[in-house]
Amino acid sequence: MTENQKSNEAINSNSTLLHGKYEVGRLLGHGTFAKVYHARNLKTGKNVAMKVVGKEKVMKVGMMEQIKREISAMNMVKHPNIVQLHEVMASKSKIYIAMELVRGGELFNKIARGRLREDTARLYFQQLISAVDFCHSRGVFHRDLKPENLLLDETGDLKVTDFGLSTFSEHLRHDGMFHTTCGTPAYVAPEVVGKKGYDGAKADIWSCGVILYVLLAGFLPFQEDNLISLYKKIYRGDFKCPPWFSSDARRLVTKLLDPNPNTRISISKIMDSTWFKKPIPKNLQRKKDELLDIEEKIKQQEIEQCSTMNAFHIISLSEGFDLSPLFEEKKREEKEIRFATTRSASSVISKLEEVAKAVKFDVKKSESKVRLQGQERGRKGKLAIAADFYAVTPSFLVVEVKKDNGDTLEYNQFCSKELRPALKDIVWRTTTSSENPSTLLEPNTLAVV
């Protein structure tokens, strides 16, 4: 083994180069089978959390499938309130998982100092439900939701982590249920304890209910020293709300901690509840708006640096010249919409404003860019669409429309139902004819790719 290979195999408290790509630094934490280090991508300068798993240890106790499941689940759920997976690498003895570095610590540490104000608890709960709803929409069920598995970033946003006990809809048995008993006793749903099969989504909702109770109360709804007594309380739904719970909070917690999974509240009804829908207070929202404004200014500066398009850019609009598949590991989930038009930029902007007005989207615009943003939160935050304008000649524009924020499925639906129909009249058209090359530039075929 070479010296370089040895340095890749051994990670200690000193800075170590991993796979020639990551500089690995101090230890952040450790468990039975893994250690987590601070690391930096040398190419991008990005800081990450590097989870190092010993293969021999996990294979010895039969946990390799659990590690694979955790990686698969994180790959499927890209959401602002879920810790993101960046990369997975391996050597003969180790698995290296590069993840988003979340600096704010566990939500558990915040609760340990006492109960939260209702407005703060609502903000965290809204983010938790948004993340869980997104997981369920992708067929992923966490099964171990608790404050210890909820992290906070430097801006105070919640991030769901630890998908080690997660499962997928394709693992359902013939009865349409899961049967593996797992989770943390104080947060586990009664039907999971009952061992008769359970719905993964409803079990996660119960855990969310326990978390909400803890946020508002500062202690658990079900507490017993004896595990059997604890499970009996959970099975009966035997808990009481403290007197400081508001009536709306009390009502929602009671529906979340319904021991009957068939009548337990659904996520759609949680989102529609009076308590959940209350807006974020101005003092909590102000900081987030300031950060968003900074990000928007940076994006705007990048756009203003390039408002024209050269011949190479025009050629690259053809999928035949698109070399990106050579470098991408998987097909892009959504396609950018590019089209040419002989209309002025102001005409295109007017069309986009009409679309925005029809669907109640906010509009931000400049001479070379328009941004449409939904007012309602979707599965992955508020949907935002950016349109960039490139002047080929004074009378010929190329417009590129792409998702700027939000859920891919919602973006695709928006493009299909709202955007394409609205833009069809202003798109410059062309047709391909092998018999008559002169017809290549005639306006007959919709040139949206």
Three-class secondary structure assignment of 176-215: CCECCCCCCHHHCCHHHHHCCCECHHHHHHHHHHHHHHHH
Domain that holds residue 7: 3-100
- The answer to whether residue 258 is catalytic is no
The Cα–Cα gap between 139 and 76 comes to 9
State CA 55 to chain mean position distance.
28
Q: Do 114 and 252 share a structural domain? A: yes
**Interior/surface letters 16-44, b for 16+ CB within 10 angstroms, e for the rest:** bebeebbebbeeeeeeebbbbbbbbeeee
Instruction: Give the percent of the chain with pLDDT over 70.
Output: 78
Q: Quick check: 160 and 205 in contact, CB under 8 A?
A: no
Q: Do 247 and 113 share a structural domain? A: yes
Last residue of a domain, one of 69, 84, 100: 100
The Cα–Cα gap between 398 and 387 comes to 10
Q: Do 429 and 291 share a structural domain? A: yes
Q: Could you identify the residue written with the tokens 């909070």?
A: 249
Q: Which residues are annotated as a binding site for ATP?
A: 55
Tell me whether residue 447 is in a domain. no
Q: Do 159 and 86 share a structural domain? A: no
The helix (run of H) or strand (run of E) holding residue 310 is: none
Q: Which residues are annotated as a binding site?
A: 55
**Interior/surface letters 166-185, b for 16+ CB within 10 angstroms, e for the rest:** bbbeeebeeeeebeeeebee
The whole-number average pLDDT for the span 17-45 is: 88
Provide long-range contacts, Cβ within 8 A and 24+ apart, for 39-42. Answer: 39/98, 41/98
Tell me whether residue 353 is in a domain. yes
The whole-number average pLDDT for the span 146-169 is: 91
Q: Would you say residue 388 has pLDDT above 80?
A: yes
Q: Do 209 and 317 share a structural domain? A: no
Last residue of a domain, one of 100, 122, 147: 100
> Can you give the CATH number for the domain in which 15 is found?
3.30.200.20
Mean per-residue pLDDT of the chain: 79
Q: Do 142 and 190 share a structural domain? A: yes
Tell me whether residue 66 is in a domain. yes
Q: Would you say residue 331 has pLDDT above 70?
A: no
Of 119-128, 358-367, 433-442, the range with the lowest mean pLDDT is 433-442
The whole-number average pLDDT for the span 179-205 is: 90
Q: Do 60 and 90 share a structural domain? A: yes
The whole-number average pLDDT for the span 281-299 is: 54
The Cα–Cα gap between 358 and 325 comes to 36
Tokens of 214: 């803890």
Using one digit for the tens of pLDDT, what is the confidence trace for 398-426? Answer: 788 888 888 888 888 888 888 888 888 88
Tokens of 50: 């590097």
The pLDDT assigned to 237 comes to 92
Count the alpha carbons within 13 Å of 162 in the hemisphere toward its beta carbon.
16
Last residue of a domain, one of 49, 72, 100: 100
Active-site entry in 133, 144, 199, 407:
144
The whole-number average pLDDT for the span 333-344 is: 71
The whole-number average pLDDT for the span 334-345 is: 74
Question: For residue 70, what are the contacts with CB-CB under 8 A and spacing of at least 6?
Answer: 162, 163, 164, 166
More confident residue, 169 or 195: 169
Q: Do 421 and 304 share a structural domain? A: yes
Tell me whether residue 446 is in a domain. no
Question: Which residue from 161, 67, 63 is spatially nearest to 105, judged by alpha carbons?
Answer: 161
Q: Would you say residue 1 has pLDDT above 90?
A: no
> Can you give the CATH number for the domain in which 251 is found?
1.10.510.10
Q: Do 222 and 112 share a structural domain? A: yes
Q: Do 421 and 295 share a structural domain? A: yes
The pLDDT assigned to 439 comes to 30
The whole-number average pLDDT for the span 265-269 is: 96
Of 207-211, 331-335, 384-388, 389-393, the range with the lowest mean pLDDT is 331-335
